[in-house]
Chains A and B, each alone.
Chain A
Amino acid sequence: MLNYILSRLLTFVPTFIGVTIISFGFIRVLPGDPIVVMAGERGLSAERYEQLSAQFGFDRPIYVQFWDYLSGVIQGDLGNSFVTKRPVWDEFFALFPATLELSICAMIFALALGLPAGVIAAVNRGKLFDRALMSTALVGYSMPIFWWALLLIIVFSGNLGWTPVSGRIDLLYYFPDPSGFMLYDSIFSGQTGAFRSALRHLVLPTVVLGTIPLAVIARQTRSAMLEVLGEDYIRTARAKGLSAGRINGIHALRNALIPVITVIGLSVGTLLAGAILTETIFSWPGIGKWMVDSIFRRDYPVVQGGLLLIAVMVMIVNLTVDMLYGIINPKIRKR
Chain B
Amino acid sequence: MENPQPVTEPIGQKRSGQLREFWFYFRENRGAVIGLSIFAVFAFLALFGPWIAPHDATMQFRTDTLRPPAWQDGGSWQFVLGTDPLGRDMLSRLIIGARFSFFVGVIVVSIAATGGIIIGLIAGFAPKWVDTIIMRIMDIVLAFPSLLLALVLVAVLGPSLTNAMIAIAIVLQPHYVRLTRASVMSELQKDYVTSARVVGAGTLRLMFVTVLPNCLAPIIVQAALSFSTAILDAAALGFLGMGAQPPTPEWGTMLAEAREFILRAWWVVTFPGLAILVTVLAINLMGDGLRDALDPKLKRS
Residues of chain A whose beta carbon lies under 8 Å from any beta carbon of chain B: 11, 14-15, 18-19, 22, 26, 29-31, 135, 138-139, 141-144, 146-148, 150-151, 153-154, 158, 269-270, 272-273, 276-277, 280, 291-292, 295-296, 303, 307, 310-312, 314-315, 318
Contact = CB atoms under 8 A, between A and B. Distances in A.
Given A142-B284, A150-B273, 12 more contacts: A11-B139, A15-B136, A18-B136, A146-B255, A150-B259, A151-B273, A158-B262, A272-B148, A273-B146, A291-B148, A296-B241, A307-B152
Contact of A142 (B143, B242, B281): B281
A104 B277 CA distance: 26
Interface stretch (B44-52, B179-187, B231-239): B231-239
A202 B199 CA distance: 66
Contact of B273 (A15, A19, A31, A144): A144
25 contacts: A11-B136, A19-B144, A22-B140, A29-B156, A30-B156, A143-B277, A144-B252, A144-B280, A146-B235, A150-B255, A158-B262, A158-B263, A272-B148, A273-B147, A273-B148, A276-B147, A277-B240, A296-B241, A303-B155, A307-B152, A310-B144, A311-B143, A314-B144, A314-B145, A315-B143
- Most chain B Cβ neighbours within 10 Å, of A26, A30, A142, A311: A142
B217 interface: no
B244 interface: no
Contacts of A311: 143-144
Q: Across chains A and B, which 6 residue pairs bring their CB atoms closest together, nearest first?
A: A147-B273, A18-B140, A273-B147, A273-B145, A142-B280, A142-B281
A293 to B, nearest CB: 11
Interface SS of chain A? helix
A15 B145 contact: no
Contacts of B156: 26, 29-31
Interface of B: 31, 136-137, 139-140, 142-149, 151-152, 155-156, 158, 228, 232, 235-236, 239-242, 252, 255, 259, 262-263, 266, 269-270, 272-273, 276-277, 280-281, 284-285, 288
Interface SS of chain B? helix
Nearest to A303: B152
A141 B277 CA distance: 10
Contacts of A22: 140, 144
Contacts, number: 122
Contacts of A312: 143
Nearest to A219: B288
A147 B274 CA distance: 8
A154 B252 CA distance: 18
Given A273-B148, A295-B152, A314-B145, A144 B262 contact: no
A229 B236 CA distance: 39
Contacts of B263: 153-154, 158
Contacts of B280: 142, 144
Nearest to A304: B152
A307 B236 CA distance: 19
Contacts of B146: 269, 273
B215 to A, nearest CB: 21
A307 B137 contact: no
A314 B139 CA distance: 11
Contacts of A143: 277
A19 to B, nearest CB: 5
A153 B145 contact: no
Contacts of B149: 307
Nearest to A12: B139
B240 A31 contact: no
- Most chain B Cβ neighbours within 10 Å, of A31, A154, A295, A312: A295
A308 to B, nearest CB: 10
Nearest to B285: A138
A14 B135 CA distance: 11
B284 A138 contact: yes
Given A139-B277, A280-B240, A303-B152, A144 B144 contact: no
B147 A141 contact: no
A14 to B, nearest CB: 5
A19 B280 CA distance: 31
Nearest to B255: A147
Contacts of B273: 144, 147-148, 150-151
Contact of A19 (B140, B259, B288): B140
